[in-house]
Amino acid sequence: MIGYSDKMKDGANRLYDIFLESSGVNTDTRTIREGEMFFALKGENFDGNEYALKALEAGASCAVVSSGSDAAALAGKDRRIIPVENTLNALKDLARTHRCAMSPGGKRLPVIGLTGTNGKTTTKELIKSVLERKYNVTATQGNLNNEIGVPLSILKITPETQIAVIEMGASHPGDIRSLVSVSMPDFGLITNVGKGHLLGFGSYEGVKKTKGELYDYIREHGGKIFLNEDLPYLHEMASARGIEDIIPYGVEYDGAGILPLRPEKPFLRMEIPVSCTQTYTLETRLAGKYNAGNVMAALAVGKYFGVPVTDALEAVRDYTPSNNRSQLTDTGKNILIVDAYNANPVSMEAALDNLEAIPSGNKIAMLGDMLELGKDSAAEHDKVLERVAAMELKAAYFVGSEFEAAFSRCTMPENCRHFSTSSQLSGYLGKETPSGCTILIKGSRGTHMENVIPAL
Q: Going residue by residue through the chain (456 aa), what tens digit of pLDDT does each one get?
A: 233 334 444 566 789 999 999 999 999 999 999 999 999 998 888 899 999 999 999 999 999 999 989 999 999 899 999 999 999 999 999 999 999 998 877 789 999 999 998 888 999 999 999 999 999 999 998 778 999 999 999 999 999 999 999 999 887 888 999 999 999 999 999 999 876 555 656 677 777 888 899 999 999 999 999 999 999 999 999 999 999 899 999 999 999 999 988 877 888 999 999 888 899 999 999 987 889 999 999 999 999 999 999 999 999 999 998 766 778 888 999 999 988 888 889 889 989 999 998 888 899 999 999 988 888 899 999 999 999 999 999 999 999 999 999 999 988 989 999 999 999 999 999 888 899 999 999 999 889 999 999 999
Fold of 102-318: UDP-N-acetylmuramoyl-L-alanine:D-glutamate ligase (3.40.1190)
Helices (H), 263-414: 292-304, 309-318, 345-357, 377-389, 401-409
- The CA-atom distances, in angstroms, between 186 and each of 24, 101, 305, 333, 397 are 25, 15, 13, 48, 45
Residue 410: its pLDDT value, please? 87
- Output the pLDDT for position 277: 85
Per-residue pLDDT at 11: 60
- Domain residue ranges in the chain: 6-91, 102-318, 327-455
Give the domain 6-91 fold: 3.40.1390
Q: So what's the pLDDT on residue 7?
A: 44
* Distance separating alpha carbons of residues 54 and 36, to the nearest angstrom: 13
User: Which class would CATH give 327-455?
Assistant: alpha beta
Distance CA 52, CA 87 (A): 12
For 272-302, b/e burial (b = at least 16 CB within 10 A) is beeeeeeebebebbbbbbbbbbbbbbbbbbb
Alpha-carbon span 122 to 185, nearest angstrom? 19
- pLDDT at residue 201, rounded to an integer: 60
Q: Are 145 and 168 in contact (CB under 8 A)?
A: yes
DSSP 259: P
State the helix-helix crossing angle for 204-211 and 232-240, rounded to 10 degrees. 60
